[in-house]
C-alpha cells in the first residue's frame, strides 16, 4: 500500500540540526532566496539509489510565472512535486537540502497539510473527484474548517469565476464533475485549487492532456491569475513557456542548467546545452 502518509520521509540531518539555528542561517545567508516567494537551496533528491536532482538552487519570484522546461526525465516534474511534498507518497524518495516558502523552511517547520494548502497543485490529467461540481470546489474549504453554507457558496462562486468557468458551470453546480469535458475538468481543478486560497500554484504539464482550444483558455487563465498568485509550471511545450512565463529554468538529466528571464533564456542562452535544446526544438 504505497499511500501511507504517516510514514516519515527520511530527511537528511533532521535529527542533528537545531531547527532554530537552521532557520536563522537561512534568513541571514541567503537574502535573495529568503526574499523570494518560494525557493529551493542545494536540493538533492534520490529515488532509492537513483540521484534524480543534483544540487538545485532556484528561486520563484512572487506573482510571476516560472516555467520549468527540459526533455522528459530531466527532473522538472520531480522538482515540482518536491515543492508541496507530493513526493512523500513515492516510496524510497529522499530529499536533502532546503525548500523555502517565504524564507521559512517548508519541510521542517510546516505541517505538510499546511504547506499543501499554501502551495496548491494542478495535475497533468484532470482529476476532479467523483462528486458534484460544487462539492469538488467546496472540498478544500470544508477540509480547512469552513462550514457555513453561505460562506461556501461565496468561495465556490469566487473560485469558479477566477478560473473563468463560472458562466459555463453556474447552472450545473449539482451535476457530477465527471460529465464535464477534459478542458472544463482541468479548469474546475484549477478552481478547486484556488478555493483554499493558496499562495503558490504548481501546474504539472496541466495542458498536455487537452486540445488546443482548451490549452489556449488555460494559458490565458494563467496570465490572469498570476496577478494574485505565484505560478510554477512544468511544460514540455517551449512555445507555451515562451508565451506564458516570466522566468524559465532549463533542466537536463537532473541538473538545473540555466535559469533566467524567459526572453533572455530563449534568445541569448548562456549555456551551450540550453542553446542546443532551444534551437533543436525551434528548428
Task: Kindly list the residues in this chain that would bind other proteins in the complex (CB under 8 A).
Answer: 1, 3-7, 19-20, 62-63, 84, 86, 89, 102, 104, 109-111, 113-118, 120-121, 123, 125, 127-131, 139-141, 143-146, 151, 155, 158, 178, 189, 192-193, 196-197, 199, 228-230
Residue placing its CB nearer to other proteins in the complex, 144 or 281? 144
C-alpha cell at 127: 482529476
- Coil, helix or strand for 200? strand
E strand intervals along 25-180: 38-47, 50-60, 65-69, 93-101, 104-105, 119-122
Residue placing its CB nearer to other proteins in the complex, 86 or 222? 86
Q: Measured from the CB of residue 1, what is the shortest distance to other proteins in angstroms?
A: 6
Q: Measured from the CB of residue 82, what is the shortest distance to other proteins in angstroms?
A: 13
Residue placing its CB nearer to other proteins in the complex, 7 or 51? 7
Contacts of 245 (CB under 8 A, 6+ apart): 64, 65, 66, 67, 233, 262
Q: Are 47 and 126 in contact (CB under 8 A)?
A: no
Q: Measured from the CB of residue 268, what is the shortest distance to other proteins in angstroms?
A: 32
Q: Measured from the CB of residue 17, what is the shortest distance to other proteins in angstroms?
A: 13
Q: Measured from the CB of residue 247, what is the shortest distance to other proteins in angstroms?
A: 17
Sign of CA dihedral 149, 152, 158, 160: negative
d(CA 229, CA 120): 10
Residue placing its CB nearer to other proteins in the complex, 30 or 87? 87
Residue placing its CB nearer to other proteins in the complex, 96 or 199? 199
Angle at CA 140, nearest 5°, toward 234 and 159? 75
Amino acid at each position: 500500500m504505497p499511500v501511507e502518509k504517516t510514514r516519515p520521509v527520511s530527511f537528511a540531518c533532521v535529527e542533528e540540526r537545531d531547527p532554530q539555528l537552521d532557520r536563522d542561517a537561512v534568513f541571514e545567508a541567503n537574502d535573495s532566496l529568503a526574499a523570494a516567494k518560494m525557493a529551493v537551496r542545494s536540493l538533492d533528491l534520490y529515488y532509492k539509489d537513483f540521484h534524480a536532482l543534483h544540487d538545485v538552487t532556484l528561486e520563484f519570484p512572487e506573482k510571476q510565472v516560472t516555467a520549468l522546461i527540459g526533455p522528459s526525465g530531466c527532473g522538472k516534474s520531480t522538482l515540482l512535486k518536491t515543492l508541496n511534498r507530493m513526493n512523500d507518497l513515492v516510496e524510497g524518495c529522499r530529499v536533502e537540502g532546503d525548500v523555502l516558502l517565504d524564507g521559512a523552511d517548508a519541510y521542517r517547520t510546516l505541517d505538510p497539510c499546511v504547506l499543501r494548502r499554501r502551495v496548491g497543485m494542478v495535475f497533468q490529467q484532470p482529476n476532479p473527484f467523483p462528486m458534484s461540481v460544487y462539492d469538488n470546489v467546496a472540498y478544500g474549504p470544508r477540509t480547512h474548517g469552513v462550514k457555513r453554507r453561505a460562506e461556501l457558496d461565496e468561495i465556490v462562486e469566487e473560485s469558479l469565476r477566477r478560473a473563468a468557468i463560472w458562466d459555463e458551470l453556474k447552472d450545473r453546480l449539482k451535476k457530477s464533475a465527471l460529465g464535464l469535458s477534459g478542458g472544463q475538468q482541468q479548469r474546475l481543478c484549477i478552481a478547486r485549487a484556488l478555493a483554499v486560497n493558496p499562495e503558490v500554484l504548481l501546474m504539472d504539464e496541466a495542458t498536455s492532456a487537452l486540445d488546443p482550444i482548451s490549452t489556449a483558455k488555460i494559458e490565458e487563465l494563467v496570465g490572469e491569475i498570476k496577478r494574485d498568485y505565484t505560478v510554477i509550471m512544468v511544460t514540455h511545450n517551449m512555445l507555451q513557456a515562451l508565451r506564458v512565463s516570466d522566468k524559465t529554468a532549463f533542466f537536463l538529466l537532473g541538473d538545473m542548467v540555466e535559469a533566467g528571464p524567459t526572453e533572455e533564456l530563449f534568445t541569448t542562452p548562456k549555456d551551450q546545452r540550453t542553446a542546443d535544446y532551444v534551437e533543436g526544438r525551434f528548428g
